[in-house]
Amino acid sequence: MFDLNRIRKDFEILNRKIWDGKPLVYLDNAATTQKPDVVISALTKYYKEYNANIHRGAHKLAEEATTAYEAVRDKVKKFVSAIDEEVIFTRNTTESINLLAYSLGELLVNEGDEILLSEMEHHSNIIPWFLLRERKKCKIIFAPINENYELNYEKLEKLITKKTKIISITHKSNVLGTVNDIKRIANLAKTNGSIFIVDAAQSVPHMKVNYKELGCDFLVFSAHKMCGPTGVGVLVGSKELLFKIPPFLGGGEMIKKVTFDGFTPNDIPWKFEAGTPNIADVIAFGAALDYLEKIGLENIYKHELELTEYALEKLKQFDFLKIYNPVIASSPSRAPRNDNYSGAGIITFSNPVVHPHDIATIIDQYGVAIRAGHHCAQPLMKKLGVSATARASFYFYNTKAEIDIFAHALKKAFDYFEVGACKELKLKGRSNDSPNAKPGAAKIR
């Protein structure tokens, strides 16, 4: 059963008071989520009771730590229904993509080859490929989005050619909330013989993701966006490919044998885990996975959709807001659709008068935490024709009462800048040479 009151008790931070005693309304979950007590206790339990380096120690603590660390791989596999695949722990989604861009790039990509991305990618799924382009002189192609903030699949299909070695696309946009049709792209990739990587940082925490059903080659995501600690990223992928590609980082743990002449890499997954891994956080991530399983991904998704619908309804009063969400875009009446997962949990918006930073600062005074800026998606911002937007993002512990506070605080922010009271207000350029210049605005004494 989904008991919101009980769930909220699991997160001590949700009792936090901000400024002069305003309750925290945390709506920045797409950036990172809060951690339940079970995750924090798993972390401290490791340090207090069985802290040891893993794999190499012959003592009791090392054995306990190794068992606990390795057990999380199986939990991850179960969580995303990836039975035969391998799980590699990295630092974050970004590192997982860098690993793939480097190691797959070394093996597969040559001058003139193409990497296909989309216009809605996070910088973490753009820059590693730009780096590869510098090494391999390959081309980076961006599949366009349409006016409904969804991928244009017809155009995407045409962009897949014999030169397309790798396709790397987000499952769910961190700005638009759009959920892409991964199965459809996976079929195209398979037919064409392209490797397909899915950035699932925003999907795995919020909806049931089934690796097998998606049909991609690699799935990458981060622990900290799903109640886990920071510093743990995941890479799930085919054993066959991981066996073939060269290692990413070199050092201890990733080798089988080293001589003065060279080395033999370790078996997978350890071949890709050089140095002492983030043992404590991986173990605590295991606790987060158990916790999410207990609540149920279907319940999480349903609750977030309900919150999104409620918030969109509340935002209707601000008819001067531009909302970048596929639900809104495809439905002029702003009635959310229930036919797929797209658009739930993330509401990104802007208006020409009040800059997102000012909105964020003002509503922060009401205890409401949202994000303002380019959300590490500058090319997408350019496509949307803005330099920055404001984003509210939900998780299962958020409530409708919190959204009421959010809407109230937004109202105050717009009142403050007189939006709504004077909708026609536009920013006009004023010259300091103009005769209309206010004398008070340029006093130098």
Partner 1 sequence: MIVLMQNQELPKLDELYKEIILEHYREPCGKVPLEHVDYEAEGMNPLCGDEVKLSLQLKDKTIEKIHIEGHGCSISVASGSMLASILKGKSINEAKQLSLFLKDMMHGKVDKNEKDIGDLEALEGVKKFPVRIKCALLPWTTFEEALAGHEHVEIS
Q: Compute the least distance from the CB of residue 358 to partner 1, in Å.
A: 5
The residue behind tokens 């003139």 is 112
Regarding 365 and contact with partner 1 (CB under 8 A), the answer is yes
By CB under 8 A, residue 58 contacts partner 1:
no
Annotation says 216 is catalytic: no
The answer to whether residue 441 forms part of the interface with partner 1 (CB under 8 A) is yes
Q: Which CB sits closer to partner 1, 93 or 350? A: 350
Sheet holding 218-222, edge to edge: 86-90, 233-237, 218-222, 195-199, 164-170, 114-118, 139-143
Q: Which residues of 315-343 are buried (b: 16+ CB within 10 A; e: fewer)?
A: beebeebebbbbbbbbeeeeebeeeebbb
Judged by CB, which is closer to partner 1: 104, or 362? 362
Residue 427 engages partner 1 in binding (rule: CB under 8 A): yes
Catalytic residue selected from 138, 216, 227, 376: 376
| Cα 426 to Cα 70: distance, rounded to the nearest angstrom | 58
Give residue for tokens 């509503």. 363
Find, among 390, 372, 326, 41, the residue nearest to 180 by Cα: 326
Q: Which is nearer to partner 1, 262 or 429 (CB)?
A: 429
| 389 three-class SS | strand
Residue with Cβ nearer partner 1 (257 or 443): 443
Owner of token pair 């093996």: 107
Residue for token pair 């509340």: 314
Provide the minimum distance between the beta carbon of 369 and partner 1 in the complex, in angstroms, as a whole number. 12
Give dist(CA 128, CA 124) in Å, integer: 7
**Interface of this chain with partner 1, residues 380 to 419, rule: CB under 8 A:** 381, 387-388, 412, 415-418
Q: By CB under 8 A, is residue 362 in contact with partner 1?
A: yes
Q: Which of 269, 326, 356, 367 binds partner 1 (CB under 8 A)?
A: 356
Quick one: tokens of 74? Answer: 């199986």
CB of 431 to partner 1, least distance (A): 4
> What single string gives the DSSP state of each residue in 125-189?
GTHHHHHHHHHH--EEEEE-B-TTSSB-HHHHHHH--TTEEEEEEESB-TTT-PBP-HHHHHHHH
State which of residues 1, 58, 83, 442 lies at the interface with partner 1 (CB under 8 A): 442
Phi and psi angles of residue 208, each rounded to the nearest 5 degrees, phi first: -70, 120
| Interacting span for partner 1 (CB under 8 A) from 112-120, 235-243, 334-342, 434-442 | 434-442
Residue 273 exposed, middle or buried by CB count within 10 Å (0-12, 13-18, 19+): buried
> What number of chain residues touch partner 1 (CB under 8 A)?
40
Nearer to partner 1, 358 or 404 (CB): 358
Neighbour tally for 73: CB within 10 Å: 18
Residue type, 334: R
* From 162, 357, 400, 423, residue interacting with partner 1 (rule: CB under 8 A): 357
CB of 230 to partner 1, least distance (A): 18
Smallest gap from Cβ 357 to partner 1, in A, equals: 4
Is residue 264 within the footprint of partner 1 (CB under 8 A)?
no
Q: Which is nearer to partner 1, 259 or 436 (CB)?
A: 436
Between residue 286 and residue 315, which ones bind partner 1 under the rule CB under 8 A?
A: none
Site for partner 1 in 18-57 (CB under 8 A): 19
Provide the minimum distance between the beta carbon of 301 and partner 1 in the complex, in angstroms, as a whole number. 31
Under rule CB under 8 A, residue 276 binds partner 1: no
Tokens 């802290």 identify what position?
Answer: 51
Q: Which residues are catalytic?
A: 376
**Site residues for partner 1 per CB under 8 A:** 19, 354-358, 361-362, 365-366, 372-374, 378, 381, 387-388, 412, 415-418, 421, 425, 427-434, 437-438, 440-445
